[in-house]
Structures are given as structure tokens and as C-alpha cells.
Copies of this chain bind each other. A is one copy, B any other.
Amino acid sequence: MERATRYSKKREAILAAIQSTRCHPSAEWVYQRLKPDHPDLSLGTVYRNLALFQANGTIHSVGVIQGQERFDGDLSPHSHFICNCCGQVIDLPGVTPKAGQDRAVSRQYGLKVQHCELTFHGLCPDCIQQEPFDL
């Protein structure tokens, strides 16, 4: 038997915060973002709800970047670029893995592929500018 889920104003606000930004937020970011309107919000609640959203597939994890886990509320197929310098995550709509590659891998290796992600790493426009030229 699975645990029932009730309505919660803060849960709603946490999800809305994630879904209304393209910055791929961390728990701390969500907390700081909502703190002004929800002065009694606690970081523990943010973490608990992020775990819940992840478990039921409402959001995805982008992975741990510079020590903090980052989340994405956009479930449409797209890839990410992660800046090695500032940690910014940039969406790459339209960029996808080869079609059918997940099924090919499943068959070929006897795995059950549930998810596939393509990620690019490097320097974002901002950090390219700030790079020293004599290196």
C-alpha cells in the first residue's frame, strides 16, 4: 500500500518555483526564492518535496553540479550544457541522442534502460568572455 499524498500550499509553491524557471535550481535556490513569501518555510521541507517530485516523475535531476543537486521541471525531451566554470545549466532544445539508441542498448547489453541523457560540458558565453586570452 502506498502512502497517500495530501495537498500542501508549500509543496505547490515549491513545484511552481521549479517549473517557472529555466535555471535548473538547487534546493537552496528554491528555498531562497520562496522564503520571502513563506517565512516559515524550512529547507528540510524543500528537500522532502524535491525527493517526492523526483519519485513520482514530476521533475528530473540534472545531477550534482559543484556540490549541489540541480533539478529540472521541464520534462520535454532536451539536452543540457553545463558550464565547467560557473556551473550554469543551459537547455539545448532539439538536441537529442540517436533515435532508438536506448532500445538498442537495452537489447545489446541485457539492460532495462529507463532514461537516457546527453550532456555537454564546457564554457558558457559569459565565461568565454571572462577567460584570459594568454592561456
A-side residues, CB < 8 A to B, are: 63-64, 81, 84, 90, 92, 95, 97-98, 101-102, 105-106, 109-125, 128
Contacts and interface: CB of A to CB of B under 8 A. Distances in A.
Given A64-B63, A109-B90, A111-B125, A120 B102 contact: yes
Given A101-B95, A118-B116, A119-B119, A90 B63 contact: no
Most buried by B among A84, A102, A111, A124: A111
Given A63-B64, A81-B105, A111 B98 contact: no
A101 B113 CA distance: 22
Contacts of A125: 110-111
Contact of A122 (B115, B118, B119, B121): B115
Contacts of A97: 97-98, 118
Given A95-B105, A111-B128, A117-B118, 16 more contacts: A81-B111, A90-B109, A98-B98, A101-B118, A105-B120, A110-B128, A111-B122, A111-B125, A113-B121, A113-B122, A114-B122, A114-B123, A115-B121, A116-B118, A118-B118, A118-B119
